Structure 1
Amino acid sequence: MGSPTRRHILAAAGSSIALAGCLTGSGADVQELTTPEATPDDDWTEPEWRPADGTPSEDDVTATTVVAGLEVPWDLVFAADDAFLTERTGGVRRFDATALATDADLSPDDGELLLEADALPDRAAPGEGGTLGVAIHPEYPDRAELFVYYTVDDGAVGNRVVSYDLESETLETVLDGIPGATTHNGGRITFGPEEYLWVLTGDAEEPALTQDPGARAGAVLRLTPDGEPAPENPDWGADGDQRTYTLGHRNPQGIAFTPQGTPMVAEHGPAARDEVSILRPGGNYGWDLVRGGPDDPEYGSYDEYDDATPPVVNTGPETTWAPSGMAFYDGESITPWENRMFVCGLASNALYAVSLHPENGGLEDGAESEDGTGVQNDATWLDDRFTATIHTLFEGEYGRLRHIERGPDGSLYLLTSNRDGRASGAFPAADDDRIVRLDPA
């Protein structure tokens, strides 16, 4: 069973409905949430870092277009003196990290096309698929390995993670058999604090797969660089894939870690209901049975499911972020933005600053801060390990935002996604798609 939060226990105790994980709200067959046979202890502790204070503002930064003319960039990662970028419709480019930190108006050709799309076996780009996440081995450059998550079609659409040795120029499959489709492919990968590889997968348009711990769909997977399950992962039984860390996700595309190493994810919801969640080992995040509070007319409430881990943020049935990449900013360069989680929005054309506090911020759920710029998420059915206050930045200024990454210089880097066929209004602009650098003002 998942570990309920204090809010969850109180809300369940006060509810007149005791459903023990059975679906009532979405009209589907009655179904229970899947839980692991053995779950590692949840080592959650109160944060040792100072929660953010003040109000983040666009005036805190200066924005510079670093690279223009890209074709649907999807992920960016820095390692040593290099920066690696994927383009969904292409391959992997390598840029000089110092050039990205100091120059402006570079072109794609200022970066080396390190890995062409045709070099990725069986690669396909249906709908939202293609060349997606990129990660670098933690021991880079001593171990010069690049990891890429991409969509394949080898008779059926799926997704695959490969490693690419930059010295021998050889590819090896790290993980195959990830379900894929035109949409909901997940795709973000990263190395966490313990040097395990975290892989986010979508439900591949088959929501029932997310409750199958052997399906590798709608899940967060945690594995070694060689593709084996991380040894401390939950035990999902003989039919489960032991790489599965959490399940019950719809289409997660963002992962980041707090300074204490706590993993958090952002995922797309159905017709709004986007979420930011804290991951706990063996957690079930409810899809497609649970997706909101007691007033949601279409989906079950987290209050009704003992085995569901509620999110820190749920945008509700009326508000869409379409969240993608995210980053926790613990740098000191942009002081007013320190110790906040930043989440990119696609359909919302915005960047969200999520301030996390272990205590109530003094506002009612959904209430705005005094300056009118922040909205608090503090409903009783949400995860009470943090209270989240959300500020919206750059709304409509850069169009669709795919990812945000902190550079070694302390600046933040935004990737636009305006040439993916879904932009509107003034986008795509003539110089799209872009990498935009945010420096302290």
Structure 2
Amino acid sequence: MPGLLAAAVLVLAAGCSSGRSPSGHHSTTPGATASSPAPARPAETAPPAKGTVRVVRTVAEGLDSPWGLAPLPEGGLLVSSRDRGTIVRVDEKTGRKTELGAVSGVAAQGEGGLLGIALSPRYASDHLIYAYFTSASDNRLVRMLYDPKRPAGDQLGAPDTIFKGIPKGVIHNGGRIAFGPDGMLYAGTGESGERGLAQDRKSLGGKILRLTPDGAPAPGNPFPDSPVYSYGHRNVQGLAWDGKQRLFAGEFGQDTWDELNAITPGGNYGWPDAEGKSGDGRFRDPIAQWHTDRASPSGIAYAAGSIWLAGLRGERLWRVPLKGTAASAAPQAFLTGTYGRLRTVVAAGGDRLWLVTSDTDGRGTPKKGDDRILELRVT
């Protein structure tokens, strides 16, 4: 596969230093003092350069424009429908689907609609679901009470808007959200087709945002009183943390390079002045890059020492083995063309992944049973 490996050019990241925490502050080991240095961390070992992945089973079929996926601690998978604006619960054992309800205010158009979803860090006590969606005027973040005791179709409370004003467009709406290990809410946004917004730190477009669960700029953000955590992004739809709480993001390129980036607080990732590896000291270079017809990355996940990246146009699942914040070997592709466009990949614990296809999003070629959730096993 020399052509494939040549396309999957790797670059070293000017990534997170090992002494920084997700908040951007230098971290210390509890109990360490100036006269008592923190104990050395054990050396990181890179996973094997090659691995395998296989589809264990099809969990569910017949999903309409699925986008976000959130596993419930009590069992079940919540899935958002971009175009219908609904959330369904899938029984991961039987595949049975139960509609929770529609999210009011969603205006689906182009790449916009009901996008990412995430569970509250205090879900066990508050039963709140967070969502990122496109409204008639902007992209926004809301939270809703989920009450499974109510009748199907009426299990979602009214959305409470916690953050709004993210630029919307027919394209580049971002939309992935996730709570980090620090309990803060992270959101990947797009520049809505207006390139200049990505470099404007006062704009919310083309950014990774870091917020409190109530929607305020999170303490320790790199820019005072700002929700902006990193900037210079074209369209971020993938967020994942490794085992040492380091953040990675997948990003759509324009014509040449899609990217996997190691995210540092306050980092500038170059768009629109750079696409892929630039070598320009002003910008953070990606740790891996692909030609856009081989990836077009949406969701990413961390499992078994690697980042897993779901490709839409590329119609394949990429594995990027990590050592620290760098790729330790060339990316490896799986399932190429087998299931069509791939939208979301989520760690399912241990050596398992949930993978969501995206052939009913208007750009794919739906087959019988699309769209689906697959359970994968990786080694």
Same fold (TM over 0.5): yes
Q: Where does residue 301 of structure 2 map in the other structure? A: 327
1:187 aligned onto 2:125: no
Shift of 1:413: 1.1
- Aligned residue for 1:163, secondary structure, equals strand
Q: Where does residue 177 of structure 1 map in the other structure? A: 165
Q: Where does residue 33 of structure 2 map in the other structure? A: none
Q: For the structure 1 residues 146 and 235, does the alpha-carbon distance in structure 2 shift closer, same or farther, using more than 3 Å as the test?
A: same
- Aligned residue for 1:210, secondary structure, equals helix
- Aligned residue for 2:197, secondary structure, equals helix
Q: Where does residue 274 of structure 2 map in the other structure? A: 290
Once the two structures are superposed, residues 101-123 of structure 1 have per-residue CA deviations (whole angstroms, 9 ceiling, x without a partner) of x33xx3xxx3221131xx422x2
Amino acid at match of 2:48: D
Report the structure number with the largest CA radius of gyration: 1
Q: 1:340 aligns with which of 306, 309, 313?
A: 306
- Looking at structure 1, the residues matched to 258 and 227 of structure 2 have their Cα atoms a distance apart, in angstroms, of 25
Amino acid at match of 1:322: S
Structural mapping, 1:218-237, within 5 Å = 218-235=206-223
Amino acid at match of 2:108: A
Q: Where does residue 7 of structure 2 map in the other structure? A: none
Structural mapping, 1:204-215, within 5 Å = 204-215=192-203
Q: Where does residue 404 of structure 1 map in the other structure? A: 345
Q: Where does residue 45 of structure 2 map in the other structure? A: 50
Structural mapping, 1:24-423, within 5 Å = 40-41=24-25, 49-53=44-48, 55-58=50-53, 61-81=54-74, 82-95=76-89, 99-100=91-92, 102-103=93-94, 106=95, 110-116=96-102, 119-121=103-105, 123-153=106-136, 156=137, 158-167=138-147, 169-235=157-223, 242-293=226-277, 301=278, 303-304=279-280, 306-316=281-291, 320-329=294-303, 338-358=304-324, 385-408=326-349, 410-423=351-364
Q: Where does residue 375 of structure 2 map in the other structure? A: 437
Q: For the structure 1 residues 113 and 353, does the alpha-carbon distance in structure 2 shift closer, same or farther, using more than 3 Å as the test?
A: same
Amino acid at match of 2:301: A
Q: TM-score, normalised by structure 2?
A: 0.83
Shift of 1:94: 4.2
Q: For the structure 1 residues 270 and 342, does the alpha-carbon distance in structure 2 shift closer, same or farther, using more than 3 Å as the test?
A: same
Q: For the structure 1 residues 80 and 344, does the alpha-carbon distance in structure 2 shift closer, same or farther, using more than 3 Å as the test?
A: same
Amino acid at match of 1:53: P
Once the two structures are superposed, residues 242-289 of structure 1 have per-residue CA deviations (whole angstroms, 9 ceiling, x without a partner) of 110000000011010000000000000011310000000000100001
Once the two structures are superposed, residues 78-118 of structure 1 have per-residue CA deviations (whole angstroms, 9 ceiling, x without a partner) of 1311421101112343435xx41x33xx3xxx3221131xx
- Looking at structure 2, the residues matched to 176 and 207 of structure 1 have their Cα atoms a distance apart, in angstroms, of 20
- Aligned residue for 2:175, secondary structure, equals coil
- Looking at structure 2, the residues matched to 68 and 6 of structure 1 have their Cα atoms a distance apart, in angstroms, of 40
Unpaired segments of 5 or more residues in structure 2?
Answer: 1-10, 15-22, 29-39, 148-155
- Looking at structure 2, the residues matched to 62 and 292 of structure 1 have their Cα atoms a distance apart, in angstroms, of 31
Count matched residues.
341
Paired residues of 1:129 and 1:182 also in contact (CA < 8 A): yes
- Aligned residue for 1:86, secondary structure, equals strand
Paired residues of 1:271 and 1:320 also in contact (CA < 8 A): no
Paired residues of 1:48 and 1:260 also in contact (CA < 8 A): no
